[in-house]
Amino acid sequence: MLSELGQWFWQERLWFPEGLGWADLEDRDGRVYAKAQDLWVALPIALVFLIIRQIFERTVATPLASLLGVKDTVRLKVPHNPTLESYYCNITKNPSQSSVASLCKQTGHSERQVQRWFRRRRNQDRPSLLKKFREASWRFTFYLLAFIAGLAALIDKPWLYDLKEMWQGFPVLTLLPSQYWYYMIELGFYGSLLFSVASDVKRKDFKEQIVHHVATILLISFSWCVNYIRAGTLIMLVHDSSDYFLESAKMFNYAGWRNACNYIFIVFAAVFIITRLIIFPFWIIYCTWVYPVTIYEPFFGYYFFNGLLMILQCLHIFWAVLIIRIAVRFLTNNEKVDDDRSDKDETDESEEEEEEAKDKNHVKKNGPVQNGHTVYNNNHRKKD
């Protein structure tokens, strides 16, 4: 059954234009072509990335965080309470008012004590600034090096300047060593991100990140198998061109360098919009969607490849809305750039400050208060 499924999956009419097939990609006359089995190399590369990341975060990112003055918030630990812990882990981390009242009866605590317990417990689960900084610094390092390496691999290639060159001679396109390693390293890196997603900082766009990683891995793998390598290298270069700006802005944000964070973020927003909302859809997708049909009839692989690109473009639009919202808030109100996708720590002081404000308002209206009674001249109450 698996053999039959494999034969159906790899049939030539699904992946190639009419008249072309896998035989066209067999090595001959010293010319080497991409093969599906090459993708297995990405698995050990992904594992190597996971190991390198652990070493990097301990030996480079942590000392760098200390140098930049990254300071973790001191979080108060909640006292152990089996009833509240069970509710927190099994039901919800944010109990409703009626649930708080029910928990008060079960534990004998006041509403404020129960609410404070849940606030502190949620804070305990939030990642520390140091963890966020180390993660951002690792991604910054990879994206910057990947962009430089990708630019070096493509700077002398004609399809970087004339996108129609992507399809000249397709699918008989010789594989270059630089293309091989560019692909395997990128695929291995995104594989490592997918492996580490459970332990990485979870943001509000967690599901979108998973979709992005899976779509990217499928796109890289598919483009490799059917020799869409020239298009694939351009797509990877476009994506790497802005990501390192974002990660560096995060690093300065965690370090408290507000101005550096804000201005780098504005540069990131400009590069992101130009590369993801202009170059990617109007140059690259145009050249993969419109131009190929002038050479050959559309086939399943053509639709599948462009469908993955459209998924990525939808994600680009989603993230662009978040980015523009943050940038406009900064430019109009000079507010600090914050990642809207991250949860903020909840402070215990907020509730107490509200109570103090109420007391001050009461004092202004009725004068000083002592033991719940208004105090008059010489500390004599009115009835005295």
Euclidean distance between CA atoms 234 and 236, whole angstroms:
5
- C-alpha 27 chain-centroid distance: 39
Q: How confident is the model at residue 381 (pLDDT cuts 50, 70, 90)?
A: very low
Query: What are the DSSP calls for 270-295, one per residue?
Result: HHHHHIIIIIIIIIIIHHHHTSGGGT
Q: Looking at this protein, which amino acid is placed at residue 170?
A: F
What's the rounded Cα separation, in Å, for the pair 50 and 15?
33
* pLDDT value for 108: 82
Higher pLDDT: 377 or 232? It is: 232
Q: Are 252 and 66 in contact (CB under 8 A)?
A: no
Alpha helices in 57-205 (DSSP H): 62-68, 82-90, 97-107, 111-125, 129-154, 177-195
Question: H or E stretch including 312?
Answer: helix 300-333
Longest Cα separation, the chain: 112
Q: Give the pLDDT confidence of 287-345 residue by residue, as tens digits.
A: 888 888 888 888 888 888 898 889 889 989 988 998 988 888 777 766 555 554 444 54
Residue 241 in contact with residue 275, Cβ under 8 Å? yes
pLDDT tens-place string over residues 189-224: 999 988 887 677 776 667 777 887 888 888 899 889
Per the listing, tokens 């390693």 go with 181
* SS3 category, 373: strand
pLDDT recorded at residue 327: 81
The residue with tokens 């965690």 is 254
Q: Is 96 exposed, middle or buried (0-12, 13-18, 19+ CB in 10 A)?
A: exposed
Cα(270)–Cα(274) distance, rounded to whole angstroms?
6
Q: Which amino acid is at 104?
A: C
Rg of the chain, C-alpha, whole Å? 28
pLDDT tens digits along 78-96 = 788 788 878 878 878 888 8
Which segment, 113-122, 159-168, 239-248, 327-336, is predicted with the most confidence on average? 239-248
Each residue's pLDDT tens digit, 47-85: 999 999 999 999 999 999 999 888 766 667 778 878 887
